[in-house]
Amino acid sequence: MAFICNLNLHGIVVPIVTPVDENENISEDKLRKQVNFVIEGGVNGILAFGSNGEFYVLDKDEMRYGFEIMVDEAKGRVPMFFGIGAIRTKTCIEYAKMAEELGADGISIIQPMFLKPTEEELYEHFKAIAESVPNLSVLLYNNPGRTGYKMSTNLVSRLAHDVENIIGMKDSSGDITALSEFIRVTKDLEFSVMGGKDTLIYPTLAMGGCGAVCSTANIMPEIVCGIFEKYSNGDLEGALEDQYKLNPIRLSMDLASFPVATKDMANLRGIDVGAPIKPSLASSGEVLDKIKKSMFEGGLIE
Residue positions annotated with a catalytic role: 141, 170
- Give the C-alpha separation, 279 to 10, whole Å: 35
* 3 and 164 Cβ atoms separated by less than 8 Å: yes
What is the distance in angstroms between the CA of the first residue and the CA of the last residue of the chain?
56
* 136 and 106 Cβ atoms separated by less than 8 Å: yes
Q: Which residues contact 48 (CB under 8 A, 6 or more apart)?
A: 16, 18, 63, 66, 67, 70, 80, 81, 82, 83
* 297 and 275 Cβ atoms separated by less than 8 Å: no
- Cα angle vertex 221, ends 220, 224, to 5°? 95
- Give the C-alpha separation, 2 to 155, whole Å: 22
Nearest alpha carbon to residue 70 among 97, 46, 94: 46
- Which three-class secondary structure state does DSSP give residue 111? coil
HSE value, Cβ hemisphere, 13 Å, CA-based, for 160: 24
> DSSP secondary-structure letter at 214?
-
* 77 and 37 Cβ atoms separated by less than 8 Å: no
Strands 137-142 and 166-171: parallel
- Give the C-alpha separation, 257 to 277, whole Å: 12
- Give the C-alpha separation, 171 to 178, whole Å: 9
